[in-house]
A and B are shown apart, each in its own frame.
Chain A
């Protein structure tokens, strides 16, 4: 059972959204339930089941302590995999910021009687996505970049490389290079067998290694080149021997 929380200062909007969602759940027979429709403080107090809930939040909360963004951050902290949907009075919301920094799913614009309908449509989309996600629970690697935590699927990582900046590490995937604070030694210990240290400055994904150039001291990992050291060679040879 997935819990749905609604947060808006206006009782009328809360009621409207709640009714529309409950009707939708009943009609489609979703395994969901509207647990709470309240102001921010009350919502945080009643929030007990912290896993994969759905939240409908007003952007312009008239509260001193919280605005839509900070409430979203607090909820992300408590429920990293929940779904956030924003309700806004205007179309000129800084939506992309919400999308990137909170991984907000969607937003609906308050539009009189239509609001409930929009909320119900949104719930349908969330339901479809949750169905998809259930099929592939991927293992993720979490890293802190600045003020937020990012999740990268372990299967996407090609290799880690030390950055020229002390204590910084680059994570390479096929379509990104992410910079974060860390050390290869610590990563090597944490990630275990899936990765292999091929060089002082490189930690490569074992299943992404495509070719080994023993002479030029290089390996190809997912189409990219990494350096190979003498100890790296020994480790590789040992691992190749084991896997044969």
Chain B
């Protein structure tokens, strides 16, 4: 049965390749949870399909090994991409980039090790030669994995994937690198034994350069993002300072007036006009409280938010809502130093909730939005509420692309849920009662 032998040989070959691909994929995705491991068996479909289809190709297309190789590789890459897309719930380009990256490492390792089995001219028994090659294979995979882990390559790569503007560009670049690596693998059959060392060296350098390139890109993206956040913070801080300035002015005016007021009061006291005294006192108190109380309230509460990114977002949204005529109230009882989940994820969640709240509130006659943030030993709790009109269909609001406002809107709640699905320590509840829509997010403890 030659057909079966071809099939088995190919399947075994592809299976090793996929196993190594999976190892690298988990490393570069910085994956710690066990949930994705459960999805791993589905990846078996890829070698299975390819090794079933491959022999059929061989007969149809004239014998052209390079063309065959390209076809298999593209098929495998596509199937791995689909798997990544499914397992991590990524978009296509993100998944494609991840598959290419893991592919680069896998192909590099294959070229390093397969060339051994081809060129090893030591007169060994075939069996022990196989053992040597497998041992080298294993050692290379293990050492590079540990090295990548130590370099925190996964964190950087995840960061690069998050760069939403450039996902396609990153994916195509990684695909080009992957293709280059594949070419190296093909080249090995033409390497003469005496150039083995050079081939080895070149492959290693290529892989190292690619790793370095990805880390560099990620670092550049991170730097750009930080710069943007800083500029935003500065812009918003100015608004905050304007408020403080207004308070300062008011206090100065009060200081100027209070001597006169006191003179009037002591006059009234001297004359024994107790009622008048009481009336002026309460008037004084109420006036001062009303004029600056509101501004102090917001400033004090915002001041308790010690995370710049969150504060910046909140100031931006508060300013935008203020312009639209939404009455905002914010309470931050205790200082907030950490969010318990990734800060940027928290910022995205908060942004979605505030946008939704503003949108809902604007449809009512007296729009208001209320934000409560409470930090405690056990964790952080966020509560955003707003009034709404109309009815809410609980079966639909969490579904993709549903909105009472028609197409293109209402993408908020599903992506909010998708962000939170990564965090078992976060629980989000929704309450809509007596015309008020409330979103609550409770985050326990935290790993950050």
Asked whether, in the complex, the Cβ of B394 is within 8 Å of the Cβ of A177, the reply is yes
- Known A-B contacts A146-B378, A172-B394; the reply to A91 vs B427 at CB < 8 A is no
Tell me the bound Cα distance from A176 to B293 in angstroms: 34
Judged by a CB distance under 8 angstroms, whether A165 is at the interface is: yes
Q: A101-B381, A146-B378, A224-B394 known; A165 and B372 CB under 8 Å?
A: no
One of A16-24, A33-41, A92-100, A191-199 contacting the partner: A92-100
8 Å CB interface, B373-420 against A: 374, 376, 378-379, 381, 383, 394-395, 417, 420
Binds A, one of B12-20, B200-208, B235-243, B436-444: B436-444
Chain A residues near B359 (CB, 8 Å)? none
Cα(A69)–Cα(B376), bound, Å: 11
Q: Is the CB of B394 within 8 A of A97?
A: no
Q: Given A146-B444, A177-B429, A178-B429: A164 and B331 within 8 A (CB)?
A: no
**Cross-chain contact B433 with A97 (CB below 8 angstroms):** no
A175 touches B331 (CB 8 A): no
Which residues of B in the span 277-316 have a Cβ within 8 Å of any Cβ on A?
282, 289, 293-294, 296-297, 300-301
In-complex Cβ contact of B381 among A147, A165, A176, A224 (8 A): A147
Interface contact A166-B378, CB-CB below 8 Å: no
Q: Does A130 contact B (CB under 8 A)?
A: no
Total of A-B residue pairs, C-beta within 8 Å: 85
Residue from the list A168, A176, A224 in contact with B395, Cβ < 8 A: A224
Query: Interface majority SS on A: helix, strand, loop or mixed?
Result: mixed
Q: How far is the CB of B52 from chain A (nearest CB, A)?
A: 33
Option from A111, A175, A224 in Cβ contact (under 8 Å) with B433: A175
Per the bound structure, the CA–CA distance linking A46 and B49 in Å amounts to 75
> CB-CB contacts of A74-112 with B at 8 A, as 1s and 0s?
000000000000000011101111001100000000010
Q: Is A92 in contact with B427, judged by CB distance below 8 angstroms?
A: no
Chain A residues near B35 (CB-CB < 8 A): 166
Task: From known contacts A146-B443, A164-B421, infer whether A179 and B428 are also in contact, taking CB-CB under 8 Å.
Answer: yes
Residues of A within 8 A of B417 (CB): 164
Mark out the residues of chain A between 218 and 240 whose CB falls within 8 Å of any chain B CB in the assembled complex.
224-225
Interfacial chain B residues near A96, Cβ < 8 Å = 329, 331, 370, 372
Residue B424 is within 8 A (CB to CB) of chain A in the complex: yes
Within the complex, what minimum Cβ distance (angstroms) separates A229 from chain B? 19
Which of B293, B300, B381, B395 touches A146 (beta carbons < 8 Å)? B381
Instruction: Report if B276 contacts A (CB, 8 A).
Output: no
The answer, yes or no, to whether B72 is at the interface (CB within 8 Å) is: no
A177 to B394, CA, bound (A): 8
Distance, CA A148 to CA B143, complexed state (A): 47
CA distance A76 to B445 in the complex (A): 21
The minimal Cβ–Cβ distance linking B187 to chain A, given in whole angstroms, is: 46
CB of B124 closer than 8 Å to a CB of A: no
Closest CB in chain A relative to B28 CB, distance in Å: 24
> Within A175-205, which residues are at the interface with B (CB < 8 Å)?
175-181
Determine if B427 and A69 form an interchain contact, defined as CB atoms under 8 angstroms apart.
no
Q: List 30 A-B contacts (CB under 8 A).
A: A91-B293, A92-B293, A92-B297, A94-B331, A97-B374, A100-B383, A101-B374, A111-B282, A145-B427, A145-B429, A145-B440, A145-B442, A146-B442, A146-B444, A147-B374, A147-B376, A147-B379, A147-B381, A166-B424, A167-B424, A175-B432, A175-B433, A176-B430, A177-B430, A178-B430, A179-B428, A179-B429, A180-B429, A224-B394, A224-B395
Residues of A within 8 A of B (CB): 69, 90-92, 94-97, 100-101, 111, 145-148, 164-168, 172, 175-181, 224-225
Given contacts A97-B333, A148-B381, A165-B421, 12 further A-B contacts (CB under 8 A): A94-B301, A96-B329, A96-B372, A101-B374, A145-B429, A165-B420, A165-B424, A168-B427, A176-B430, A176-B431, A177-B429, A224-B394
The 10 closest A-B pairs by CB, nearest first: A146-B442, A176-B431, A94-B331, A179-B427, A147-B378, A178-B429, A175-B433, A92-B297, A94-B333, A97-B331
